[in-house]
Structure 1
């Protein structure tokens, strides 16, 4: 099944959510000097990169990157199953408080323990992108009490346990799993994103022997902690704070090339 057919099949999944609730930390408004600019993905795929089946799961940033991966893979035999959902992370909460306003969690955000194994069984991906690094910076109700966030050890323990569980499900058919990092912003947003990335790196280190890898999106968008709004003459973020179409296509090209380097060589 090709990319177009998969996009139609999953249209109801990838089209839902609240993208404006997952905007990244504020980026630097100036243009990046080309000499010190972050890479912002790749302008074209590695010549040998082709033909993988990739499953994308996570939040609205995962969905956005999945669109870029599908665009980049159209002519190279990739099948990109974009099952990411805006406003959904890994925590299985009952409530969430983006911007301090408490709301009930949508039921769809609590289905990944059942949904992801079905997708793995159906498509048998060689690689999986697991990316919840934006939404899981949001305070969430995970134990029936007050909203907790990354500063709370109970939240961090739940995050680590749920990530381990998710990796086990996603690897059921032998796929390599790539876990993405968040962009670093300024002030409080920057501190939260740094803690998120520490948690991501801990997951990857602990699961390295299970063919789990770091997908360092931050380094593609930021030089040190400077994450400019324009790189290589193009706007990086759209009005919702997600990568623009040109930006997500470059990032998608980089992701597919990265996945092929590991998963493609292993599977032939």
Structure 2
């Protein structure tokens, strides 16, 4: 099978390309650096021509309200080109519980992306993943003041990027789900607890203070970002990933 991997040079995209090619498929990475601009449309028709499946892993450069325009424009361009090229399957990566956090601009933008795909002309699959283990440091940096990290008690179920890429590659190589696959890591942590575990493991000198208004995840209420009952549970534990 031939795949066009949009955002194929990024964290997840590069792994998906490698795994699909190792399995005997032809997966081609596309991004701004390869001359494909999904906002202006430059290079998009050529990128999707002759492919069986488009995998869209491109991410908005911002997490604010501008992300709505990014996903609206990029999906409109990609879906139109995919329909014209006769693409048979379109895959996007989204977020577990994304439709349960209306107070977060970026999550509303990802819901818009999902809705455009569902209403579009191409058979589709949506893979929703929980928060990446690789993003914990960035989350902590965002709410660090000196030697203090302020984090809410929001429950998360972190998943390793390699497990996400495995699931995306598997779904992309299969028949369209015309629905959603939820994937999650095996363990649930409160975000403040996750911060303390991370600091201890890395001998970091900072301390964590629980603040339920801090950072992006201060807008999240309840356990909506943990795995629903139908989720596939990935094998990598956070403690093993840290080590």
Instruction: State TM-score, norm by structure 1.
Output: 0.45
Task: Please identify the structure whose Cα radius of gyration is greater.
Answer: 2
Query: Which has the bigger relative contact order, CA under 8 A and spacing at least 6?
Result: 1
* Between structures 1 and 2, the one with greater helix share: 1
* Between structures 1 and 2, the one with greater strand share: 2
